[in-house]
Amino acid sequence: MKVAQFASFGSPAKVIECVKVPDLNDPKDNEVLVDVLACPINPADVLNIEGRYGVTPNLPARLGAECVARVKKVGSAVDDFKEGDIVLPLDRENWVQQKMVSDKNLILLPSNVDPLQLSMLKVNPATAYLMLKKYVSLKEGDWLIQDAANSGVGHCIISLAKLEGIKTINVVRRKGLADELKNIGANIVLEDSENLAEEVRDLTNAANIKLAIDAVGGNQVLRLGDCLAEEATILNYGLLSGKNIEMTSYQTVFKRLILTGFWLMPWLQNMSREKVFELYNHLAALIDKNILYVPIEKTYNLEEIRKAVAHSAGYNRSGKIILTPNGPF
Ligand SMILES: NC(=O)c1ccc[n+]([C@@H]2O[C@H](COP(=O)([O-])OP(=O)(O)OC[C@H]3O[C@@H](n4cnc5c(N)ncnc54)[C@H](OP(=O)(O)O)[C@@H]3O)[C@@H](O)[C@H]2O)c1
């Protein structure tokens, strides 16, 4: 079978490769053998290849934080899954044609939903959900502001906030995104600029904004901070600009803004199995109802991994890049 792996850190389009490895044996006891149907390329995968992620893998390393898969064979002690089931593996190293997963690490997904959408279930919807629910208590009619709002996470934040009646100000870095984001429920879409705080004040009637969600860092945080009310929270979850976060002493001392960070991995590690299952069943149901939907720009075979990763790292995309390791479906 084929897998994607890299043997040294560096430019994703140069160091990642598709290699042949021996096929997997039949599953034992509680093991489940699955065919990987689809797996997205996330910015975290790119950071991982560049050696800039929160954990450093031993090399050569396989990649891919998430996928959707179809059960091929089950071990003799597996009761909850059968051949043909569509499943979410909770472990990593998903850019492969097949993998062996413990039945404890699999979540059964609906079989009538677009697998490409389900392939993006594990990381971004869960990130958006936890960031909305676990940091600042927002109620119907409250506002939040986010940047990189046209990203996968950004789409999920807009859709989940809308469900709760929370209004969103969505900052993007280029023109032409307002219609798409308003169609899924964005209240305000603004291109980032030096006048951001003034525009936000005018458009929200000087609302008290208690939460900013930031994936960019650098001086974008400075401008988000100027849009916020006193004692508001800035929740940083990405490093898209590659620059350290900037804030002023006025923001930290006199406005008493709170800066904190979000990383999904420790959240999932610290949640009980029941809570993790509850979270993903809830989010899968929202994908099933089309409440959560993230646009896709292109799918690639595993053999085209270099092209796919380069495409994904290039940005200005209309949607995610997805690998289909066993071919298109
Ligand atoms: N902390 C966590 O646990 C966690 C979990 C999930 C995701 N994340 C992070 O969330 C972020 C978004 O991930 P995703 O999968 O949703 O992304 P995505 O769908 O691949 O989209 C990438 C987005 O980043 C924007 N972007 C790239 N560089 C930028 C910059 N310098 N300034 C402003 N915007 C920029 C792109 O804008 P254009 O369309 O204009 O190119 C695009 O909207 C990433 O940083 C990722 O690492 C973190």
Give nearest CA residue, ligand 1 atom 39: 316
Residue 177 lies in a domain: yes
CATH number of the domain residue 249 falls in: 3.40.50.720
Give the Cα separation of 81 and 111 in Å (integer): 13
Q: Is the same domain home to 150 and 238? A: yes
Residue 69 lies in a domain: yes
Q: What is the pLDDT of residues 137-150, one digit of tens each?
A: 999 999 999 999 99
Residue 241 lies in a domain: yes
Facing residues of 321 across strands? 298
Q: Is the same domain home to 88 and 44? A: yes
Structure tokens at 157: 């934040």
Evaluate: CB of 238 within 6 angstroms of ligand 1: yes
- How many distinct structural domains can be found in the chain? 2
DSSP-H helix ranges across the chain: 12-15, 43-50, 115-118, 124-133, 152-163, 178-183, 196-204, 220-227, 249, 264-270, 273-288, 305-313
Interval between CA 73 and ligand 1 midpoint (Å): 36
Residue 153 lies in a domain: yes
- At 185, which amino acid appears? G
- Domain range holding 134? 126-264
Residue with tokens 């992620």: 53
pLDDT range class, residue 126, cuts 50, 70, 90:
very high
CATH number of the domain residue 22 falls in: 3.90.180.10
Evaluate: CB of 125 within 6 angstroms of ligand 1: no
| Residue with the larger pLDDT of the pair 151 and 54 | 151
The closest-lying atom of ligand 1 relative to the alpha carbon of residue 149 is 43
> What is the mean pLDDT of the segment spanning 45-69?
93
Q: Which helix (H) or strand (E) holds 143?
A: strand 143-146
pLDDT of 314: 82
Residue 273 lies in a domain: no
Q: Is the same domain home to 62 and 110? A: yes
Q: Is the same domain home to 260 and 130? A: yes
Q: Is the same domain home to 143 and 70? A: no
pLDDT above 70 covers what percent of the chain?
100
Q: How far is CA 55 from its chain centroid?
A: 17
Evaluate: CB of 263 within 6 angstroms of ligand 1: yes
Give nearest CA residue, ligand 1 atom 31: 241
Structure tokens at 40: 């997205």
Q: Is the same domain home to 175 and 298? A: no
Q: Is the same domain home to 206 and 142? A: yes
Average pLDDT, the chain: 97
Residue 249 lies in a domain: yes
Give the Cα separation of 101 and 89 in Å (integer): 7
φ/ψ of 153, rounded to 5, equals -60, -45
Q: Is the same domain home to 144 and 242? A: yes
| Cβ neighbours for 267, distance < 8 A, ≥ 6 positions apart | 126, 130
φ/ψ of 312, rounded to 5, equals -65, -40
Residue 278 lies in a domain: no
Q: Is the same domain home to 209 and 163? A: yes
Q: Is the same domain home to 104 and 145? A: no
Known catalytic residues are 53
φ/ψ of 318, rounded to 5, equals -90, -5
Structure tokens at 85: 């089931």
Q: What is the pLDDT of residues 169-187, one digit of tens each?
A: 999 999 999 999 999 999 9
Give the Cα separation of 205 and 316 in Å (integer): 31
Residue with tokens 């991982």: 48
Structure tokens at 297: 């720009």
Q: What is the pLDDT of residues 269-290, one digit of tens each?
A: 999 999 999 999 999 999 999 9
Give nearest CA residue, ligand 1 atom 28: 240
Q: Is the same domain home to 111 and 181? A: no
pTM score: 0.97
Interval between CA 80 and ligand 1 midpoint (Å): 36
> What is the mean pLDDT of the segment spanning 62-85?
97
Residue 270 lies in a domain: no
Q: What is the pLDDT of residues 86-105, one digit of tens each?
A: 999 999 999 999 999 999 99
Q: Is the same domain home to 133 and 96? A: no
Which of 226, 245, 264 terminates a domain? The answer is 264
pLDDT of 329: 83
